Structure 1
């Protein structure tokens, strides 16, 4: 069955979501880190459209191919800084809420690397990409 295009089906809803993205773009989280977070969350959620988009955006922003290839196994590499590792750990914890992860360890790592404002901004970013993933997966949006 063909799925609807959520952009045209509810433009006011998408406009509100885009406004949230506009805040995130000016938030305390830098763009290279934001793209890694978006990409990792999209990998976990199995969102082909978002994985394609954010890998492309990260690459265009100067991200190294080696790091992009290793993102799904970031814990096993030395390619990521302590700050990036804290953000990726928090991303995985927040993205996998349905599995009831223990938030203590990833929160502690996050608090060592990020200010309170950055922690909230990062969590908002993670929440937003998870929402986009659900729209894209649910309505079968495919990369072109």
Structure 2
């Protein structure tokens, strides 16, 4: 497999727009470890090797536990994640797979107690952003270094 185009060079304005999303996410009140977990889980669902590699490395550099990283795809089956993280992962899965489930009320009800309105908007933006990055990387065959 080889890279199709370098999307960073092909459309700097598109990347600038994506970076605007990233700037908001950085300024949000969401914990860095939560952000890393959400990025990794969405990238796993989407099958984005480039992003899985990058976000696993970023999470490790930030001090994330290898056991949590190894089991994030089975987060429901472990006790390694907090209730807030579990809620964020459930939200991430529902939004990433939105065509399958349209974010059921049951997901909303389990996520709502763990986040303020602003945090939910920021968490949703985070999921939107990583899904966007995944689509750039997958469609143009961005490969891990």
Q: Which runs of structure 1 show a deviation greater than 3 angstroms over 4 or more consecutive aligned residues?
A: none
Alignment size in residue pairs: 144
Coordinate RMSD, CA, aligned: 1.1
How far apart are the structure 2 equivalents of 1:84 and 1:26? 19
In structure 1, the partner of 2:132 is 131
Q: 1:2 to 1:33 in 2, by over 3 A?
A: closer
Contact 2:95 2:103 in 1 (8 A): no
Contact 2:71 2:78 in 1 (8 A): yes
Structure 1: gaps spanning 5 or more residues: none
How far apart are the structure 1 equivalents of 2:55 and 2:3? 25
In structure 1, the partner of 2:58 is 57
In structure 2, the partner of 1:107 is 108
In structure 2, the partner of 1:5 is 6
Relative to the length of structure 1, the TM-score reads 0.96
Residues 35-91 of structure 1, C-alpha deviations (whole Å, 9 max, x = no match)? 000000000000000000000001111100000000000000000000000000000
How far apart are the structure 1 equivalents of 2:101 and 2:76? 20
Relative to the length of structure 2, the TM-score reads 0.96
Q: 1:143 to 1:117 in 2, by over 3 A?
A: same
Residues 66-124 of structure 1, C-alpha deviations (whole Å, 9 max, x = no match)? 00000000000000000000000000000001213442121111111111110000000
